[in-house]
Amino acid sequence: MDFVTAFLNAEVDVQLYMQQPQGYEDGTSKVCKIQKGLYGLKQAPRGWNQKLNEIMKSFNFEKNIADDSVYIKHIQNDLKIIVAVYVDDLIILSNNLKEIEVFKREIKKLYNVKDLGELSLILGMRWERNRGERKSNLKQTNYIQEILEKFGMQDCKVVSTPAVKIVEEDSKKLPTNEKYMEVVGSLIYLTTCTRPDIAYSVSKVSEHLKDPTEKDWIAVKRILRYLKGTQGVGLVFGGKEARKDLEGWVDADWAGDVKSRLSRSGYVFKIAAGAISWSSKKQANVALSTAEAEYVSGCLGTQEVIWLRRFIGGLGERLNTPILNMDNQGAIALGKNSVHHI
């Protein structure tokens, strides 16, 4: 569902005035006192968030303990309805279709909303369901095509990997960083939503947003060439054999950055056979050994798994004890040694 002119529904809790709108002047120097939110008003997003919270509370919804943008309502026994919010867009889920219809009907009585039907497209992501195989697919094919066309790469040659080993050498700086920042920003959104396979590559090119060089631009174009050949790739969840267990993997490349000698941490977590959380980022401090670098990555992964358990538990789901996989015996021994955790 989508709220129509959502910000106009929220009251303004401070004194604000505006000039008379063009075409509605009365020939005086009077100004208009703003009582409801307006688009472009810096207080409007916060006001709408408060209003939406009031709306959901009036329908007996509670906020998820780990995420304020997700609401849940327990009805009876195992019946529940979950509402995920992105500004004025609502994704409504329930294990009972009638409960969704009741919620939609009640909210339509109070506010002007659009019923967009079954979820298929949200924020540039396409959601497809294969009910026969009990699988769901989340991908951004159209978004990738738009990026390629926008930056003139729709006819580029395809490559099989998004990155190659970068040789640290001097390279001519680009005359401006505007286009570079624009394409990297587009790739960051893609990485955040559905493409963990380019997380490392995008993280590397993001390090040079201020002063990109021709070498950096070649690296960005390689990512686009990789995306050209993998436009239909996305996240797949479920399947008849899929388990509802939460499992994660963490790793690190010790002193991978040649200049700073900083290591890079990476993790990915899966549930129902699909990736739900991932990251590739530099560590804050220089690690003195592979065990230390891996241990820092394990700590980062542990923080994420704690949040995921709180979030999924807040949805009323019971999970197994999460498994966090590492490949460094030294880091594993440190993690199991209670002397280090007093």
Inside any domain, residue 47: yes
Backbone angles phi, psi at 44, to 5 degrees: -65, -45
Last residue of a domain, one of 195, 229, 263: 229
Tens digits of residue pLDDT in 280-313: 999 999 999 999 999 999 999 999 999 999 999 9
Mean per-residue pLDDT for 100-112? 92
Inside any domain, residue 301: yes
Q: Kindly state whether residues 250 and 223 are assigned to the same domain.
A: no
Mean per-residue pLDDT for 330-336? 89
Confidence category of residue 167, pLDDT binned at 50, 70, 90: low
Q: Where are the beta strands (DSSP E) in 120-159?
A: 121-122, 125-130, 135-139
Q: Kindly state whether residues 114 and 7 are assigned to the same domain.
A: yes
Inside any domain, residue 265: yes
Q: What is the pLDDT of residue 169?
A: 64
pTM of the model: 0.87
Beta bridge mates, 279: 267
DSSP state of 285: S
Q: Kindly state whether residues 7 and 92 are assigned to the same domain.
A: yes
Q: Kindly state whether residues 306 and 332 are assigned to the same domain.
A: yes
Inside any domain, residue 251: yes
Q: Kindly state whether residues 225 and 247 are assigned to the same domain.
A: no
Q: Kindly state whether residues 158 and 263 are assigned to the same domain.
A: no
Q: What is the pLDDT of residue 166?
A: 60
Inside any domain, residue 160: yes
- With 80 as the cut, is the pLDDT of residue 170 above it? no
Q: Kindly state whether residues 196 and 279 are assigned to the same domain.
A: no
Tens digits of residue pLDDT in 8-45: 988 888 899 999 988 888 888 899 999 988 888 888 89
Tens digits of residue pLDDT in 193-216: 999 999 999 999 999 899 899 999
- With 70 as the cut, is the pLDDT of residue 168 above it? no
Last residue of a domain, one of 119, 144, 177: 119
Contact criterion met (CB below 8 Å) for 39 and 7:
yes
User: Into how many domains does the chain fold?
Assistant: 3
- With 80 as the cut, is the pLDDT of residue 182 above it? yes
Domain of 316, CATH number, reads 3.30.420.10
Q: What is the pLDDT of residue 259?
A: 84
Mean per-residue pLDDT for 170-180? 87
Range of the domain at 79: 2-119
Distance CA 17, CA 25 (A): 15
Inside any domain, residue 201: yes
Question: For a pLDDT cut of 90, what percent of the chain falls above it?
Answer: 66
Inside any domain, residue 140: no
Q: Kindly state whether residues 90 and 23 are assigned to the same domain.
A: yes
Tens digits of residue pLDDT in 206-260: 998 998 999 999 999 999 999 999 999 999 999 877 888 899 999 999 998 888 8
Last residue of a domain, one of 201, 229, 257: 229
Inside any domain, residue 182: yes
Contact criterion met (CB below 8 Å) for 265 and 252:
yes
